[in-house]
Structure 1
Amino acid sequence: MPPRINIPPVTRILLVVLTLQSVLSAAIRYRQWSAHTEVVLPYLNLVPQLSLVYPWTFLTTTLVESNVFTLTIAYLTLYHGGRYLERAWSSREFAKFLLIAALIPNTLCFGTMIIFFAFTRNERWTLMTIAGTIPLQISFLVAFSQLVPAHTVTLFRGILSMRVPRFPLVYIGLVTLLCLSPMLTSASFFLSVYGLLTSWTYLRFYKPVFPDLDTSQSSSLRGDASDTFAFAEFFPGPVRPFVESLSAQVFGVLVAMRLCAPFSAADISAARGETSSSSFVPRGVPGSARAEAERRRALALKALDQRLHAATASSASRAQSAPPPPSIPQPPPPSASGPTVQTQPHVGTQSAMTTSQAGGLLGETSYNPDGDGDRGSA
């Protein structure tokens, strides 16, 4: 009997709706296809000029993909990312995050198309279809940047090494390139940018902190005041000071408009993990016990790798410095019909083989809380 795949409920519903709506959209387009007209589905996809009478499209359009390539990417992203985040946050918080990450970027993109039409008087902007899981995909990347900000992903046997907070900008770059092809429309670029801003703002200022049952952390804390989740952390080092200055000015405007509230001293202390009379724990990573266990596991693997290398080096040095053994008279060779004895491998050789295998297994990911860790095209 094949093993049962355990998918959390919200992720399961997400995948089913994505499959049904995408298949339905493809079937309708196939039946109504014409070489002289473009098929639009204003009751399923969000089209600024036609979908005002179908308000549900502000949500349903997110789970509609128009081709097999984007559908495959969306299915893999929602399956793996949804399972991880739903188990880390709970189904209720994950569903709330999906609702915000889908509704707000679609609405902002809708308004952007209307503004472009007002300035250009070109109906192409209001007839452009706003659809796809792009805002959800980049929102997942932002969430991973909050959960594991110090981890580095190594690809292609060490040729490309990139920290997790770099992935949202790389994703926006890929979407921009695909917008130059017929595969994606210009609305996809705005969806990716608005998805980044919306998900980061919600996680930074509004999302309730998952309570740690091992401590007396207050369950009323919201947001993430840690330095590792600042908006400038998504950018490379050379442009980070400029982004920090710009984001500080924007934050001041949002505070003046009462859309965001400045962090208090207790919030900053909790985010940095400083102990106080109320025994706060770090807010930067929901579930500090899991984060601490992951950090200790990474350090233990690194220490084990160093010990294996040290043991191999000492064994090799002892073998080289040891005097040769005295010659012992050898017994007469056995007869041709007797059994032969195979030479056993040296202990140092076996240790080196074990160390090489362990080093290969430990080279896929790394934990680097201080270093930047970007190489290649990051």
Structure 2
Amino acid sequence: MQLFISTIGLLFVGKLLEPIWGSREFLKFIFFVNFLTSVCVFITAIAMYYITKQEIYLYMPVAGFQGVLSGFLVGIKQIVPDQDLWFLKIKAKWLPSLALLVSIIVSIFTTESASYLPTMIYGTFIGWIYLRYWQRKPETKLRGDPSDEFSFSTFFPEFCRPVINPIATIFERMLCGRRSEISDESGGYTLGGTTLPGSDPIEASRRRERGARALEERLTAERLAAAGKTDETQKDATENV
């Protein structure tokens, strides 16, 4: 069952992310998120074993694609944050948070789901770290996405952000070293007084437009394919009559 879900998720989300990121960056994302998620879950399991002395933590499933699928949701949040989902009345930017919330609720009632919860949490977090700080952008020759729309606090509701923002700022300084991100009049970020290319709202808007266009083209193609099959079915039925 897990293999089936992972395969469907890879094929479905890959149609949206791979054309925008490129094949190389898409594969790099899968590798890094899967590898680092497995390492983090393994370290957590060992730590919990030494703390609680319960052997159940030694048999936690470390390998798995759930972390990558969670990371894919973060990628959708980055590319088409304001896109309304066709099957739910929510915006795409809330997909990672909603998936984690549902997983936490389900894990309370089922032990099997609880064993995969750390994988999803680490997958979401590492996916965000990769896209925020490590992903190389060919159009700007920079790494990451420093826009405010993709900050860590955007994973939480508005009322939680005053508490999350100070913690996120400390984390930002740890990962970025001496890089100072100061919003200028145009809303861009600066490094030593020089605006970073690709960090202004224009670049972020272009990225969202590309993602929305790719999603719309894929949905249109699916609708046309479904309509074509319907017409063929009706034609065959007419000929049989």
- The TM-score bracket by the shorter chain reads 0.7 to 0.9
Q: CA deviation at 1:196?
A: 1.3
Could you say which structure has the greater relative contact order, defined with CA pairs below 8 angstroms and 6 or more residues apart? Answer: 2
State how far apart, in whole Å, the 2-side matches of 1:137 and 1:146 are. 14
The answer to whether structure 1 residue 175 and structure 2 residue 103 are counterparts is: yes
Report the secondary structure of 1:184's partner residue: helix
Among 190, 203, 212, the residue aligned to 2:131: 203
More helix by share: 2
Which residue is equivalent to 1:89? 21
Which residue is equivalent to 1:193? 121
Among 239, 247, 252, the residue aligned to 2:160: 239
Among 12, 27, 30, the residue aligned to 1:98: 30
Taking structure 1 as reference, are residues 286 and 207 closer, same or farther at Cα in structure 2, changes over 3 Å only?
farther
Report the secondary structure of 1:162's partner residue: coil
Q: CA deviation at 1:179?
A: 2.5
Report the secondary structure of 1:151's partner residue: coil
Q: CA deviation at 1:287?
A: 5.1
Which residue is equivalent to 1:228? 149
Q: Looking at CA atoms only, which structure, 1 or 2, has the larger radius of gyration?
A: 1
| Preserved CA contact (<8 Å) 2:79 2:208 | no
Among 136, 154, 162, the residue aligned to 2:90: 162
User: Residue deviations 1:265-292, cap 9 Å, x none?
Assistant: 145563224xxxxxxx61x36757736x
State how far apart, in whole Å, the 1-side matches of 2:122 and 2:40 are. 7
Amino acid at match of 2:34: A
Amino acid at match of 2:79: L
Q: CA deviation at 1:210?
A: 3.4
Amino acid at match of 1:290: R
Q: CA deviation at 1:222?
A: 1.1
| Preserved CA contact (<8 Å) 1:175 1:189 | yes
State how far apart, in whole Å, the 2-side matches of 1:225 and 1:208 are. 12
| Preserved CA contact (<8 Å) 1:106 1:130 | yes
Q: CA deviation at 1:154?
A: 5.4
Gaps in structure 1 of 5+ consecutive residues: 1-67, 212-217, 274-280, 298-378
Report the secondary structure of 2:89's partner residue: strand
| Preserved CA contact (<8 Å) 1:139 1:199 | yes
State how far apart, in whole Å, the 2-side matches of 1:118 and 1:252 are. 31
Among 262, 287, 290, the residue aligned to 2:210: 290
Taking structure 1 as reference, are residues 261 and 187 closer, same or farther at Cα in structure 2, changes over 3 Å only?
farther
State how far apart, in whole Å, the 1-side matches of 2:127 and 2:156 are. 16
| TM-score after normalising by structure 2 | 0.74
Report the secondary structure of 2:85's partner residue: strand
State how far apart, in whole Å, the 2-side matches of 1:163 and 1:268 are. 28
Q: Number of paired residues?
A: 205
| Preserved CA contact (<8 Å) 1:146 1:285 | no
Among 27, 43, 47, the residue aligned to 1:115: 47
Taking structure 1 as reference, are residues 262 and 197 closer, same or farther at Cα in structure 2, changes over 3 Å only?
farther
State how far apart, in whole Å, the 2-side matches of 1:83 and 1:184 are. 30
Gaps in structure 2 of 5+ consecutive residues: 182-188, 217-241
| Preserved CA contact (<8 Å) 2:13 2:72 | yes
The percentage of counterpart residues that share the same residue type is 25
| Preserved CA contact (<8 Å) 2:80 2:208 | no
Structure 2 counterparts to residues 1-378 of structure 1, below 5 A: 68=1, 70-153=2-85, 155=87, 161-182=89-110, 184-211=112-139, 218-219=140-141, 221-255=142-176, 258=177, 261-263=179-181, 265=190, 266=194, 270-273=198-201, 282=203, 284=204, 290=210, 294=213
